[in-house]
Amino acid sequence: MEYPANILSNRDEDPKILNNIENALKERRGFTFSLEHGCPVVFLISGGLDSMLIMDRLLGEYGCEIYPLYIERGARAGKFEKQCCEKYCEIYQERYPKLFHSMEVVQMNIPPKEFKLNIGEHRLNTIGHPMRNAVIQSIGVQYAVSLSSSVDSQIKHVFTATSPDDTFPHSSLLSLRSLTLMACVDGGDWGWQISSPLLEPTLWGELTKEDMIRYAVEHDLPLEHTRTCTRGDELACAKCPECLCRLRAFAGVGIQDPIAYKI
């Protein structure tokens, strides 16, 4: 199969604006991003390669206490995404019983199904649903606040699995820093950190899907249970931007993708 040299990429990483936001965070709290060993984290999971695999590295190298959150948001592939999330949560609860908590599931159509009717396929493939990720990450903050009242720690980290391979404007460090600033201002608390371990410069730098596939192979993590395709069929379509990006990553690593695709 031929893969596009550059799958549609609309990511926005304006360095000037990013620098301004990071300077504002540093001025107010003394740092841009910080992660201490054993830090509790709300992790927004989707069933894909990125969110399912990077959690192992956070657990193993940073000893993070992870509270996974899955949002049934009305996605076409939602049924299959949730099954993948459940499978990997079982794996991590067995590997890290003291660190990995049960998956929290909430139901909320994002965007509301009434609004989806007039959102065209071209926009979905190039820009995505308007403000969807911002809403999802805001729910992560709400969950963290709720959890902090019932567990013996204040949870101020909300992680998503935005990857440098992702193609939408919001799939950027700039977007995550903007949401961090918004959470701090909205809550009157400058301890909030919304980020992605796959993009965070102070962790491992940029980690692509190829990097995560190699990590999975090296650490004996199964790849066959992940769900990347956004279409609603049981078998991945091999045509949507998400499938093409995944297939290109496996080709780059030189191993065959273990999931089944439509012929």
Tell me, what CATH number does 109's domain have?
Answer: 3.40.50.620
**Sign of the four-CA dihedral 197, 231, 249, 9:** negative
pLDDT at 8: 38
- Structural domain that includes position 198: 15-207
| The residue count for the chain | 263
Give dist(CA 185, CA 140) in Å, integer: 16
Which of 122-126, 160-164, 217-221, 258-262 has the weakest average pLDDT?
122-126
pTM for the structure as a whole: 0.90
Query: Which pair of structure tokens corresponds to residue 192?
Result: 């909030």
**Residue whose pair of structure tokens reads 């065959």 in the numeric block:** 256
Q: In what order do the strands lie in the sheet with 157-159?
A: 104-107, 65-72, 40-44, 157-159, 193-195
Domain membership flag for residue 7: no
> Would 256 be classed as within a structural domain?
no
- Quick one: pLDDT at residue 68? 98
Query: Is a pLDDT exceeding 60 seen at residue 148?
Result: yes
Mean pLDDT of 171-179: 92
Answer whether residue 246 is part of any domain: no
Averaged pLDDT for residues 236-247: 91
- Residue 50 falls within a domain, yes or no? yes
Say which residue, 40 or 119, is predicted with more confidence.
40
Q: Residue 121's pLDDT is what? A: 80
Look at strands 104-107 and 40-44 and give their pairing.
Answer: unpaired
Residue 170's pLDDT band (boundaries 50, 70, 90)?
Answer: confident
- What is the average pLDDT across 158-164? 94
Q: What is the band of 113 on the pLDDT scale with cuts at 50, 70, 90?
A: confident
Confidence of residue 9 (pLDDT cuts 50, 70, 90): low
CB atoms under 10 Å from CB of 114, counted, come to 8
CB-facing half-sphere around the CA of 118: CA atoms within 13 A = 2
DSSP letters for 96-112: -TTTBPPPEEEE--SS-
Report the C-alpha gap between 27 and 184 in whole angstroms.
Answer: 13
Q: Average pLDDT, whole number, for the chain?
A: 90
Q: How many domains does the chain have?
A: 1
**For residues 50 and 212, is the Cβ–Cβ distance under 8 A?**
yes
Query: Which residues, at least 6 apart from 162, have a Cβ–Cβ distance to it below 8 Å?
Result: 50, 133, 170, 171, 172, 175, 176, 196, 198, 199
* Better-predicted residue by pLDDT, 179 or 166: 179
Selected residue with higher pLDDT from 2 and 133: 133
For residue 218, is pLDDT > 70?
A: yes
Residue 10: pLDDT band with limits 50, 70, 90: low
The answer to whether residue 30 is domain-embedded is yes
